[in-house]
Amino acid sequence: MKAAFFRQHGGLEVLEVGDLPSPEIRDNEVLINVKAAALNRLDLFVRNGIPGLRLEFPHIGGSDFAGIVAEVGKNASIEVGTPVLVNPGYGCMKCRACVSGEESLCKRFQIYGEHSKGGLAEFVAVRADKVL
Ligand SMILES: [Zn+2]
């Protein structure tokens, strides 16, 4: 798949556009065929490097994206072909904050495009409960 990614932190010079393997989904995830993505300041922070944030390279940024459901994990209840917007923040779903509906207060709260691969690509695997 085509993607915008970087293999190390830095300025614009580290940004590449090229081919990477398409992600594989887990049972609770859906594969999104990205049709629109936006850039925001977080993408610059992540590319430049945030102290304490360890990324798996190559990293694909982009926290704001929308698209079409292309594949559905066996535990996800949404149909292939559904147009969706992704809510990029996700917690562990096990701690008190997550269970009480305050996922953004989770100590392990993460964001697609920051902690895991984001939407500046043709395809992204996301948790099925994170699509609207
Ligand atoms: Zn949690």
Residue 78, pLDDT score? 97
Residue 16, pLDDT score? 98
Residue 81, pLDDT score? 98
Q: pLDDT confidence of 126, banded at 50, 70, 90?
A: very high
Q: What is the distance in A from the centroid of ligand 1 to the CA of 54? A: 19
Q: What is the distance in A from the centroid of ligand 1 to the CA of 127? A: 14
Kindly report, residue by residue over 78-91, the tens digit of the pLDDT. Answer: 999 999 999 999 99
Q: Which residues of 55-87 are buried (b: 16+ CB within 10 A; e: fewer)?
A: beeebbbbbbbbbebbbbbeebeeeeeeebebb
As given in the structure block, the two tokens for residue 69 are 């459901």
Q: What is the distance in A from the centroid of ligand 1 to the CA of 102? A: 8
- Nearest CA-CA partner of 59 in 20, 6, 104: 6
Q: pLDDT confidence of 72, banded at 50, 70, 90?
A: very high
Q: What is the distance in A from the centroid of ligand 1 to the CA of 99? A: 7
Q: What is the distance in A from the centroid of ligand 1 to the CA of 63? A: 19
Amino acid at 48: N
Q: What is the distance in A from the centroid of ligand 1 to the CA of 120? A: 26
Return contacts of 76-81, CB within 8 angstroms, 24+ apart: 76/27, 76/28, 76/29, 76/30, 76/128, 77/128, 78/30, 78/128, 78/131
Q: What is the distance in A from the centroid of ligand 1 to the CA of 52? A: 19
Kindly report, residue by residue over 88-123, the tens digit of the pLDDT. Answer: 999 999 999 999 999 999 999 999 999 999 999 999
Residue 75, pLDDT score? 97
Kindly report, residue by residue over 51-70, the tens digit of the pLDDT. Answer: 999 999 999 999 999 999 99
Q: What is the distance in A from the centroid of ligand 1 to the CA of 3? A: 30
Q: pTM for this one?
A: 0.93
What is the CATH number assigned to the segment(s) 2-7+17-130?
3.90.180.10
The domain segmentation of the chain, as residue ranges, is 2-7+17-130
Kindly report, residue by residue over 19-56, the tens digit of the pLDDT. Answer: 999 999 999 999 999 999 999 999 999 999 999 999 99
Q: What is the distance in A from the centroid of ligand 1 to the CA of 104? A: 8
